[in-house]
Amino acid sequence: MTRAESADSRGFFKAMRTVTISREVTKKTPSKGEIELSRVLRRLRDFPPNYEGDTTNTRNKSADIPNNLNTSVWITGLPPTCTCKTLLVAMAQVGRLGKIWSTVINPPNPKERKFYAAAKVVFFTREGAERLIHSVEAGQIVVAGRRPRAIFNRIKSAPQKESPKSLVVIFEGPAALVNERKLNEWFLTKFTYQTESVQLLAHNSARNTNVLEWRFGSYHAQAEAAVIAVTKELDGIVQWKHG
C-alpha cells in the first residue's frame, strides 16, 4: 500500500487517501543499457559483474587486505536445492576445518544459465579457508552426491580476532522456554537464520531446566543476533555461552 495526496482547486492538500497499486505495475523491468551500467558500476566497486547484493553496504565490499589474508571461499557446482545445513553437514564429514564466520547460499538462476547453487563461506581465519579449499580439491567434500569446486572469493574478507565466538551457542534455562520449538518460534520474530542442528545436552528434572546446543548457519548475524536478543530480553532467565 502506498499513500497519495490530492489537492483541491485552491491548491491545498486534502487528507491523505490510501490507494492500492499493483506490484506488477510499479515494478520496472530494467533495460539492457541499465543492466550493463549496473555491471560496470559493480566492477568499479570491485564486485563481480553479476553480484546481486547491496554494493553500497560497506560490509559487502571487499576488504582492503593482501590476498594471502583472505578468509572468504566461493563454492560452485552445489546441488540446486542446497541449503546451509546441507553444506555445513557435508563439510563436517571431513573433520574440523575451522570456525565459520558466515555462510551464504546463492540459489540457481536458470534464466542466466546458472543451474547449480553456489555459496560464500567466510572463516574466522585464513587457515580455515585454506583447509576448505584443499578438502574440496581433494574430492573429500560431497554435497548431496555432487563434488563442488572452490576458490578464494574475489570479494575478500579479513581474519577475525581470536575469541570464543562461534556459530554454536549453548542455552540453559527453563524447559518450557529452552527447547527447540519455543526458541525457534521466538528467534523467528527477531532475526533471519538457518540451523545446522539442535541437540538437547541435558535436562534437570528437579529444576525443570534444559541445556540446549544450537548450531546456526553463521556466527555473523545469526548466532551473534541470538546472543544479543537473549541478553537483551531474557537476561536472568536464560543463560548462554559459545560452544
- Report DSSP letters for 148-190, one per residue: -EEEE-SS--PPPPP-S--SEEEEEEETTTSSHHHHHHHHHTT
Domains delineated in the chain: 66-160 (3.30.70.330), 168-242 (3.30.70.330)
Look up the pTM and report it. 0.74
Residue 87: burial class (beta carbons within 10 Å; 0-12, 13-18, 19+): buried
Torsion of CA 104, 106, 107, 113, to 10 degrees: -170
The answer to whether the beta carbons of residues 127 and 68 sit under 8 Å apart is: no
Q: In what order do the strands lie in the sheet with 239-242?
A: 195-204, 209-216, 168-174, 239-242
Q: What is the pLDDT of residue 210?
A: 99
In 3-state terms, what secondary structure has residue 143? strand
pLDDT, one tens digit per residue, over 51-79 is 555 555 555 679 999 999 999 999 999 99
Per-residue burial over 111-136, b = 16 or more CB atoms within 10 Å of its CB, e = otherwise: eeeeebbbbbbbbbbbebbbbbbebb
In 3-state terms, what secondary structure has residue 121? strand
Q: Which DSSP category does 237 fall into?
A: T
Q: What is the pLDDT of residue 14?
A: 36
Q: What is the pLDDT of residue 61?
A: 79
Q: What is the pLDDT of residue 37?
A: 59
Q: Which residues of the chain have pLDDT under 70?
A: 1-60
Q: What is the pLDDT of residue 59?
A: 55
